[in-house]
Amino acid sequence: MLEKFIDLGIQPYANAFLNSEKDIENEFLYQLDVGFDKETYSIEMMPETIEQIKPENIFNENYSYRTSCSAPMRRHFRETANMLRNMYKGNKESILEIGSNDGSFIRVWDPNNHTVCVEPCSNFAKETTDMGYKTYDEFWTQDLAEKIVRENGQFGMIYSANCMCHIPNLDEALRGINVALADDGMFIFEDPSASQMIVNSAIDQIYCEHPRIFSILYLDKILKKHGLTIVNVQKLNTHGGSNRIFCLKTDNVKEVMSSLYKEIEYEKMIGLNKISTFLMWAARMYMMRNNLFNILHNAKSLGKKIVGYGCSSKSSIILNFLKVSDEYVDYFVDTTPEKIGKLSPGTHLPIKSFKEGWNESVDIAYLGAWNYTQEIINKEQDFLNRGGRFLTHVPFVRLI
Ligand code: DWN
The pLDDT score that the predictor gives to residue 71 is 87
The answer, yes or no, to whether any atom of ligand 1 lies below 6 A from the CB of 311, is yes
The answer, yes or no, to whether any atom of ligand 1 lies below 6 A from the CB of 344, is no
Helix (H, G, I), strand (E, B) or coil at 25: helix
Ligand 1 centre distance from Cα of residue 247 (Å): 27
Ligand 1 centre distance from Cα of residue 141 (Å): 26
Nearest CA to ligand 1 atom 7: 209
Q: How far is CA 350 from CA 12, 170, 174, 334, in A?
A: 16, 36, 40, 10
DSSP 225: H
The pLDDT score that the predictor gives to residue 208 is 96
Helix (H, G, I), strand (E, B) or coil at 172: helix
Helix (H, G, I), strand (E, B) or coil at 231: strand
pLDDT, averaged per 10 consecutive residues of the chain (400 residues), comes to: 97 96 97 98 97 95 90 94 84 90 95 95 98 98 98 96 97 98 97 97 95 98 98 96 97 97 98 98 97 97 97 97 94 94 98 98 97 95 98 96
The answer, yes or no, to whether any atom of ligand 1 lies below 6 A from the CB of 23, is no
Burial of 255 by CB count in 10 Å (0-12 exposed, 13-18 middle, 19+ buried)? exposed
The answer, yes or no, to whether any atom of ligand 1 lies below 6 A from the CB of 375, is yes
Helix (H, G, I), strand (E, B) or coil at 346: coil
The answer, yes or no, to whether any atom of ligand 1 lies below 6 A from the CB of 49, is no
Is residue 157 within a helix (H) or strand (E), and if so which, with residue range?
strand 155-161
Nearest CA to ligand 1 atom 18: 312
Residue 334 near residue 7, CB atoms below 8 Å: no
Ligand 1 pocket test: pick from 70, 76, 124, 191 the residue with the most ligand atoms within 8 Å of its Cβ.
70
Ligand 1 pocket test: pick from 355, 372, 375 the residue with the most ligand atoms within 8 Å of its Cβ.
372
Count other Cβ atoms within 10 Å, centred on residue 308: 29
Ligand 1 centre distance from Cα of residue 23 (Å): 23
The pLDDT score that the predictor gives to residue 325 is 86
Count other Cβ atoms within 10 Å, centred on residue 218: 23
The answer, yes or no, to whether any atom of ligand 1 lies below 6 A from the CB of 209, is yes
The pLDDT score that the predictor gives to residue 90 is 62
Residue 161 CA: nearest ligand 1 atom is 4
**CA diameter of the chain:** 65
Residue 390 near residue 373, CB atoms below 8 Å: yes
Ligand 1 centre distance from Cα of residue 370 (Å): 9
Ligand 1 pocket test: pick from 69, 238, 353, 367 the residue with the most ligand atoms within 8 Å of its Cβ.
69
d(CA 183, CA 141): 19
Please give the full DSSP string across 61-89, using - where no structure is assigned. Answer: TT----GGGSHHHHHHHHHHHHHHHHHTT
Please give the full DSSP string across 304-345, using - where no structure is assigned. Answer: --EEEES--HHHHHHHHHTT--TTT---EE-S-TTTTTSB-T
d(CA 303, CA 16): 31
The answer, yes or no, to whether any atom of ligand 1 lies below 6 A from the CB of 335, is yes
DSSP 34: E
d(CA 174, CA 69): 30
d(CA 278, CA 53): 23
Q: What is the pLDDT of residues 68-86, one digit of tens each?
A: 988 889 999 999 999 999 8
d(CA 2, CA 6): 12
Ligand 1 centre distance from Cα of residue 198 (Å): 20
Rg, Å, the chain Cα set? 21
The pLDDT score that the predictor gives to residue 88 is 74
Residue 195 backbone class (left: φ over 0; alpha: ψ -120 to 50; beta: rest): alpha
Is residue 297 within a helix (H) or strand (E), and if so which, with residue range?
helix 275-301
Ligand 1 centre distance from Cα of residue 308 (Å): 12
Q: Say which residues have a Cβ less than 8 Å from residue 196's Cβ, sequence separation at least 6.
A: 202, 235, 240, 241, 242
Is residue 170 within a helix (H) or strand (E), and if so which, with residue range?
helix 170-180
Alpha-carbon torsion (70, 73, 79, 81), positive or negative: negative
Nearest CA to ligand 1 atom 5: 65
Q: How far is CA 316 from CA 71, 320, 336, 388, in A?
A: 21, 6, 15, 23
The pLDDT score that the predictor gives to residue 87 is 83
